[in-house]
Chains A and B, each alone.
Chain A
Amino acid sequence: MPEVLQKILWLSTALFFIGVYGMLTRRNMLAILMSLELMLNSVNINFVAFNKYLHPEKLDGIFFFLFIVTIAAAEAAVAIAIIIHLYRYHKNIDVGETEEFKY
């Protein structure tokens, strides 16, 4: 059993850093949002795996999973609203070219 948990931790580490790589290299805001979803998902895998393999008598990891999913949905909705609004003014959603957010 413990080696299973170890393997899952390696998987979620790799997935998290794939998300980090996407965040560092992408310029399109929607693509950055997709990398963010990958990172949130890797954290969710950790919560559920720790709950299942270390504390099977409790359910707190699953509750955290549910809250993270809810907050991720809210965050995606707000982010996409901002992106669509920005597209209406600039016809462009590259982070380098929308400099109004700086001020």
Chain B
Amino acid sequence: MDSIIFYCIALFILISGLLAVTARHIFRAAIWLLFTLMGIAALYFWMNVFFVAAVQIIIYVGGIVVLIIFSIFLTQQAGQKMAVTSAKQSVFSVAAVLFGIAFIASIIGRFYFVGRSETLNDSVNTIGTQLMSFTNGYALPFELVSLLLLAAMVGSILIAMKHKTENKNN
């Protein structure tokens, strides 16, 4: 029963992922991307890591996809289709992808992981105390990432801002 659910989730993720990279309308591709990310959140729920699943839904589905859809509205004429990739290019891309999958498959097939059945304690309390612990935690990377977010925010506002001289010329 458990593995049937896993196969359903995996099939859903792979099909919507394929449609996300092949759909001709970019808006439809964004919606398929949304379904893929929801499927990945479902996979995290299946793995019983609820905090991770919640973060996935909040940040990816609620944040990044919405951002992408907004920018599609800002940069795309309605109903415009994307250019078809040439047959030569898609053949070479498929060949590259198959080569990559074969390479990774040879690595995965060589290992047999001995898993453990202990349950992972992923309550928010444990995650917070271990993340910010000063002895073996990630306090410094945490602060660096917050700086990075601030820099990215300021930088993207600066880049996307309309300059005054431009307005006069337009």
- Which positions in A face B, CB cutoff 8 Å? 1-2, 4-11, 13-22, 24-28, 30-31, 33-35, 37-38, 41, 44-45, 48-49, 51-57, 59, 62-63, 65-67, 69-78, 80-85, 87-88, 93-94
- Are the CB atoms of B26 and A18 closer together than 8 Å? no
Which residues on the B side are within 8 Å of A81 (C-beta)? 155-157, 159-160
A16 to B97, CA, bound (A): 10
Majority SS at the chain B contact face = helix
What's the interface size class on B, roughly? 35 or more
A32 smallest CB distance to B (angstroms) = 10
- Are the CB atoms of A35 and B21 closer together than 8 Å? yes
- Are the CB atoms of A53 and B105 closer together than 8 Å? no
Majority SS at the chain A contact face = helix
Which residues on the B side are within 8 Å of A71 (C-beta)? 145, 148
A51 and B120 contact, Cβ closer than 8 Å, known pairs A72-B64, A78-B159: yes
- Are the CB atoms of B119 and A87 closer together than 8 Å? no
A88 smallest CB distance to B (angstroms) = 8
Q: Known pairs A44-B40, A76-B68; list 9 more (Cβ under 8 Å).
A: A8-B43, A13-B108, A17-B104, A25-B90, A34-B21, A34-B29, A37-B37, A38-B33, A41-B37
Which residues on the B side are within 8 Å of A75 (C-beta)? 152
- Are the CB atoms of A80 and B105 closer together than 8 Å? no
